[in-house]
Structure 1
């Protein structure tokens, strides 16, 4: 495992956790959303997820610790259940993760041609804030080998002003402004992306769909803890200030009911819209609840969906979160996942 970076020396790290229950991935929290999830999620863990382009939705860093998770493997012929044990390691980003992280982010901006390689480089060069999740494997003498498997997930937050002259950030801003079709919302988004860019962190969180949800809260805890440490531990005032985020911008995806517009037009007081949106990543439901601004946009690259999703359309979702809502987000995320 990559050694702890300097910022961790003065902070107590959580110990290794064991005994995490058997888990499955999930899309959302309503009963219908969970039904959809189980119909299209992979029931088994496979190393091919690291090397092949994912057919399902790709989209986790406790602070340099391990998570021990059991996966169910079902043999349909013999009707027996085997238990596979997977140790997840949480590592500082590094150049060797380039190919795997690029795979995770391949559809981050729909199918728009843009400087994705440059974007991945920015994320991997920032080692003080950011995490790559991989299988943690030990050899016979107990040494950790983190080279044998590709990344399972990536999370980071980068300052939009610090990297404003990079082509990938310029193209990302252009994409978001073009994607927003509502005039008043576009004006507000432009303020965050340009005039207030120094206060904005682009929160990038992507992982494979079969990543166990128990890892999600510690992943975000680690990210926000690292951001707080960076404001104190970075070697220059300029770098420390670059992590003093007042806002976060998130780009993610959801499934939206094709009938939502018609339903809203005929809305009555007792209409229930809980199933009108299915959140691919569970935390996005909380982010949107706490967001000060959000909008959806149509995707040009539409992937095949299971029959259960015929009445839903995959869409992009952009959100702006006030940094003062982070503590509430962390509490809600832990409570919500504890109920699942």
Structure 2
């Protein structure tokens, strides 16, 4: 990686050091939040058909629908799914020597079979939990934003345990047993022009412009948000800490493949064109060193890293971005002792669509090391 950045080792899907970077759980706050409102309507010509299930005129093979896809079983340390990769500083290394004294018998390992599914209304609470701190502590139309993601089933994926969907279907038949809190991750991309009149998108644009302090970068941001909005996709990917990292390339492959299919399979030209993105806009979080390290400690080089990416793929996006900017996070939680020299920052990036093939290759290579 350029700049001499290091990445945490990939152990059990997320290294102990990386786990110490995770931001504070949003679960408690979400428990007090209000339930879903009536879903916001999509444009009249919006399609709810699955691109992967639409017959193609060419002979190009297509993978099975997401409901038929299953990931390989993944071993992971058992821990709460209430902590998002971008939401918690609470974690493992704060216990120091006490944790090192734990015997291997005290760390229970479970096998989990994850599967990709189309988003649907019953996923509301799980998706809302993942997005709780997407725009920091700013009051905004989060409910409307969740509704847009759930209503766009043609492009977008939620990740659950493979058996959850079957059990949920049985529960609904027997009186409705909602298991959306078992959702482990989501990925989607929303056209900023198509949904420009939705209050949540207006709130998001206002927020991004308000936190961009550099005048030249702000002009570029405004250009994408207004004049070029119809060709800009807001890429949203959120996961809990126990999401296996070996599934991350598959998650992005699913998204970008669906975007490509949607440009061919959507029923109207307007919808097909709405997925012909020229730019992707990402809003993520990083950890930035408060002051440059004057002396590198040989025994703890991780503490000298200028920037740490809780989601490793965000470093690749940053590397490939046309422009980017950072901004302070107001709701930053108290860091653990070993992270006292770092501050939580928001990172906004613009990535051209032609850079996506390179991103996919780099991501696959990164996680295969």
Tell me if TM exceeds 0.5. Answer: yes
Question: Any unmatched runs of 5+ in structure 2?
Answer: 1-9, 31-64, 80-98, 170-177, 295-301
1:328 maps to 2:358 = yes
Looking at structure 2, the residues matched to 138 and 116 of structure 1 have their Cα atoms a distance apart, in angstroms, of 25
Question: Any unmatched runs of 5+ in structure 1?
Answer: 1-20, 27-34, 43-48, 55-61, 264-271
Residue 105 of structure 1 corresponds to which residue in structure 2? 131
Of Structure 1 and Structure 2, which has the larger fraction of its residues in strand? 1
**How do residues 1-340 of structure 1 correspond to structure 2 at under 5 angstroms?**
23-26=12-15, 36-39=17-20, 63-64=66-67, 65-67=69-71, 68-73=73-78, 79-80=104-105, 82-137=108-163, 143=166, 145=168, 147-148=178-179, 150=181, 151-260=183-292, 275-339=305-369
Alpha-carbon offset, residue 24 of structure 1? 2.9
Looking at structure 2, the residues matched to 251 and 96 of structure 1 have their Cα atoms a distance apart, in angstroms, of 25
Q: Deviations over 1:295-336 (max 9, x none)?
A: 000111012322111000000000000000000000000001
The SS at the match of 1:176 is helix
Residue 17 of structure 1 corresponds to which residue in structure 2? none
The SS at the match of 1:66 is coil
Kindly indicate whether the alpha-carbon contact (under 8 Å) linking 2:119 and 2:156 is maintained by their aligned counterparts in 1: yes
The SS at the match of 2:226 is helix
Residue 6 of structure 2 corresponds to which residue in structure 1? none
Q: Deviations over 1:57-76 (max 9, x none)?
A: xxxxx944122211245997
Query: For residues 273 and 228 of structure 1, do their structure 2 counterparts lie closer, same or farther at Cα, with a shift above 3 Å needed?
Result: farther
Alpha-carbon offset, residue 103 of structure 1? 0.7
Looking at structure 1, the residues matched to 363 and 135 of structure 2 have their Cα atoms a distance apart, in angstroms, of 26
- The number of residues matched between the two structures is 286
Looking at structure 1, the residues matched to 19 and 124 of structure 2 have their Cα atoms a distance apart, in angstroms, of 31
Q: Deviations over 1:140-195 (max 9, x none)?
A: xxx56475352111110010000000000001000000110000000010000000
Query: For residues 119 and 72 of structure 1, do their structure 2 counterparts lie closer, same or farther at Cα, with a shift above 3 Å needed?
Result: closer
Residue 53 of structure 2 corresponds to which residue in structure 1? none
Q: TM-score, normalised by structure 2?
A: 0.71
The SS at the match of 1:195 is coil
The SS at the match of 1:132 is strand
Looking at structure 1, the residues matched to 346 and 332 of structure 2 have their Cα atoms a distance apart, in angstroms, of 11
Q: TM-score, normalised by structure 1?
A: 0.77
Q: Deviations over 1:68-103 (max 9, x none)?
A: 211245997764154311111211011111111111
Superposed CA RMSD: 2.8
Q: Deviations over 1:44-68 (max 9, x none)?
A: xxxxx996569xxxxxxx9441222
Alpha-carbon offset, residue 36 of structure 1? 3.0
Query: For residues 236 and 52 of structure 1, do their structure 2 counterparts lie closer, same or farther at Cα, with a shift above 3 Å needed?
Result: same
